[in-house]
Amino acid sequence: MPKFDYYIFRFFVIWYIIGVFLLSFDLVPPWLEWANVVFLITSGLLAMIYFYRSGSKVYGLIAIAIVFFLSIAIESFGVHTGLFFGEYTYESDFGPKIIGVPVTIGFAWVMVIGTSHVLAAPLAEAVPRLKGLSYALYGALVATSLDLIIDPVAYDVKQYWVWDEGGLYYDIPFSNFYGWFILSFVLHLLIYGLYHRSDGWINRRSEYWSGRMRLLYGMMALMFIIVALVNQLWLAPALSAATAMCYYFVYHILKKRTSAYDKS
């Protein structure tokens, strides 16, 4: 394992701990707002390394490009039309933009798909039929569940972006969540087509990064849960904690089943 991999993950953990403390108690000074950009880029970079290390380097680069550029394209479509995630505007500076969308959003989507893919991948080995569809639907559910805690904090607490229309869940439009689900579903289908063969997944080379992706999903959820609780939001943290625990439980059950299949 290259030393760079260890160093970049350790850097992220240190940045993460500092960020949780500063965000929870609203201690981020104006001159340090760029820290959000570094955090999002680093989390996405971890997922990029996962894709690059876990199989063919060419396939890894293709997977990264698909998730990064397609997510930015769909986000841009949503920003300009309001037809996908609802009508909203970015209030914080998330760095340079491509077609109206901060590049950091592309990194964030690579993180979301990388982590949800790892948690959902065993399902494709456990179901007898419609493996790709089952995996993509479940992966989209895992990914969208992360937004149940991200958006209430980012919108209701931090005002990173502002919705032009409301909804029942923390005044967030429902279109945002089905937009997340649809985009996640499409991206997982593409990942399945790229990496899955009749005898299973071909991107299993790095157990180190697979484990880090499972950890990263929980770390991201936990950070927003802590910030939400400090700001007296109760429903979103409860939902996020419950769904995350369910996904980890399902993952371990499926891994045991697939391991048994591999040994039979």
Tens of pLDDT, residues 219-242:
999 999 999 999 999 999 999 999
Per-residue model confidence (pLDDT) at position 145:
97
Per-residue model confidence (pLDDT) at position 163:
81
Question: How far lies 23's CA from each of 93, 106, 107, 118, 206, in Å?
Answer: 16, 22, 20, 28, 32
DSSP class per residue in 175-193: HHHHHHHHHHHHHHHHHHH
Q: Which pTM was predicted?
A: 0.94
Coil vs helix vs strand at 87: coil
pLDDT in tens, 4-21: 999 999 999 999 999 998
pLDDT in tens, 187-199: 999 999 999 998 8
Coil vs helix vs strand at 76: helix
Provide the token pair at 159: 């005002």
Q: How many CB atoms lie within 10 A of CB 228?
A: 24
Task: Report the amino acid identity of residue 151.
Answer: D
Question: Looking at beta carbons, which pairs linking 97-105 to residues 24 or more positions away fall under 8 Å?
Answer: 98/72, 99/72, 99/73, 100/76, 101/72, 101/75, 101/76, 102/37, 103/72, 104/36, 104/37, 104/40, 104/41, 104/44, 105/40, 105/71, 105/72, 105/75
Provide the token pair at 112: 């979301």
